[in-house]
């Protein structure tokens, strides 16, 4: 079953138009009960989707602005790999002040998810010091010398406290800002890792000291190279990771 699963959100549930989304998903605006929402269809497992939707519910209860899942008519948070979520209005951050607000929002996420279990099938940067694969990452597909550099960057994070990281803030479109709130969308790459990976922001908006920023920037570049390998962006990111 594909988009026919949308029927499980009730009579009159319809797709409207495709939205810009990740390569792993088909994302559309939809109308549910007369309201505009966002639906995402992909190939994630039920365990993966349960982790993500439960996380979003938790963050919503704690007062964060997230695309909380809209249940099916029988109360499920997803059905046949389809998730329907609240539409979040707003635009991307543009000013230094905007990015500082994003940093505050990320730190709240990190506080609220300390001790959260790892997303099924995922690996943290520290795990990848020994493991070769995890969801979209396959280090065996990368140049061996590049893997050595990535692992050296991740090794500098060992021993840090972990929490949920959003994992895809290099795309400003994953932030929806208004005058009075900051919303984070597209949680498809969220997983448990070291929070500083989220805090490499334009203009050092998270106010990391020089040493912390250098460690985080190198580890973040290594992560994005590995998770996107081997498109042009991944090659560019790997080039930013210093030789050992």
Confidence of residue 135 (pLDDT cuts 50, 70, 90): confident
SS3 letters across 1-67: CCHHHHHHHCCCCEEEEECCCCCCCEEEEEEECCEEEEEEECCCCHHHHHHHHHHHHHHHHCCCECC
Q: Does 95 score more than 70 pLDDT?
A: yes
| pLDDT at position 58 | 98
Percent of residues, the chain, with pLDDT higher than 70? 98
pTM of the model: 0.95
Q: Does 1 score more than 90 pLDDT?
A: no
**Domains of the chain, residue spans:** 3-86, 96-239
Q: Which CATH architecture has domain 3-86?
A: 2-Layer Sandwich (3.30)
């Amino acid at each position: 079953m594909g988009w026919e699963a949308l029927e499980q959100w009730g009579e009159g549930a319809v797709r409207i138009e495709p939205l810009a989304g990740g390569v792993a998903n088909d994302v559309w605006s939809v109308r549910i009960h007369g309201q505009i929402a966002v639906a995402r269809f992909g190939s994630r497992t039920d365990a993966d989707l349960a982790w993500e939707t439960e996380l979003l519910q938790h963050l919503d209860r704690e007062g964060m602005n997230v695309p909380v899942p809209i249940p099916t008519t029988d109360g499920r948070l997803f059905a046949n790999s389809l998730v329907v979520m609240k539409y979040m209005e707003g635009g991307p951050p543009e000013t230094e002040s905007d990015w500082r607000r994003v940093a505050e929002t990320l730190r709240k996420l990190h506080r609220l998810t300390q001790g959260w279990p790892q997303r099924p099938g995922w690996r943290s940067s520290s795990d990848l010091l020994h493991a070769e694969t995890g969801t979209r990452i396959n280090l065996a597909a990368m140049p061996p010398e590049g893997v050595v550099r990535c692992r050296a960057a991740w090794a500098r994070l060992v021993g840090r406290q972990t929490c949920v990281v959003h994992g895809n803030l290099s795309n400003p479109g994953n932030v929806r800002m208004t005058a009075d709130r900051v919303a984070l969308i597209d949680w498809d790459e969220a997983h448990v890792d070291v929070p500083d990976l989220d805090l490499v922001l334009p203009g050092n908006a998270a106010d990391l000291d020089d040493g912390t920023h250098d460690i985080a920037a190198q580890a973040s570049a290594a992560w994005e190279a590995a998770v996107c390998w081997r498109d042009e962006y991944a090659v560019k990111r790997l080039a930013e990771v210093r030789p050992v």
